Amino acid sequence: MQKVKLPKNIVRYVEHNLYYYHEYLRDIERLRKDILYGRDNNDENIGGGRGNLPSSPTEQRAIELVTHRRLEKLERVTHAIKTVYEALPDEKRKLIKLKYWTRPQRYTWDGIAEQLCVTRITCLRWRNEIVYAIAELLGETDA
C-alpha cells in the first residue's frame, strides 16, 4: 500500500515509461541485434598503440552488451514494469492496458472506470499504487 505521495515529476516519468513500454521492448531487441550482428567496428584507434579492449569480436560484443547504457536503462525500466504488471490482479492489468497500452487512447478515467465497473477514484488510487510500485523498483522513491 502506498504511504508516500510521489512528486509529480516521478509520476510523469513512470507514466511515460508505461506509455512507451512496448516500444522499449522493440528498442531492446533492435539494440541487441545491432550490437551482436549489425554494426561495423567503430575502432577509432588509427595507428597508435594497442587498445585496451579484447581483440576477439565475440568478447567485444559481450562487453558492449553488458556496458551499453541505453540498453541497460531500457532493460531496467521494462523489467520493473513487467514485474509489477505480472503481480497485479486482472482488473488492475486491464487498467494498464486501457490507459497506457491502447492506441489510440479511447477512454478518459471515467471511461476506464466504467469499463472496470469501479469508480473513477478507485481507478486513480490503483494507478497511484501501480506507479508507486514501479517507482520503488526503479529506486525513485525516498523510502
Q: CB–CB of 62/12 below 8 Å?
A: no
| 48: its cell numbers | 597508435
Rounded distance between C-alpha atoms, residue 81 and residue 23, angstroms? 13
What is the distance in angstroms between the CA of the first residue and the CA of the last residue of the chain?
13
For residues 39-65, average pLDDT: 56
Q: Given pLDDT bands bounded at 50, 70 and 90, which one contains residue 92?
A: very high
pTM for the full predicted model: 0.76
Give the model confidence (pLDDT) of 102-141 as tens digits: 989 889 999 999 999 999 999 999 999 999 999 999 998 8
Least confident residue range of 34-43, 50-59, 81-90, 101-110: 50-59
Mean of pLDDT values over 78-107? 95
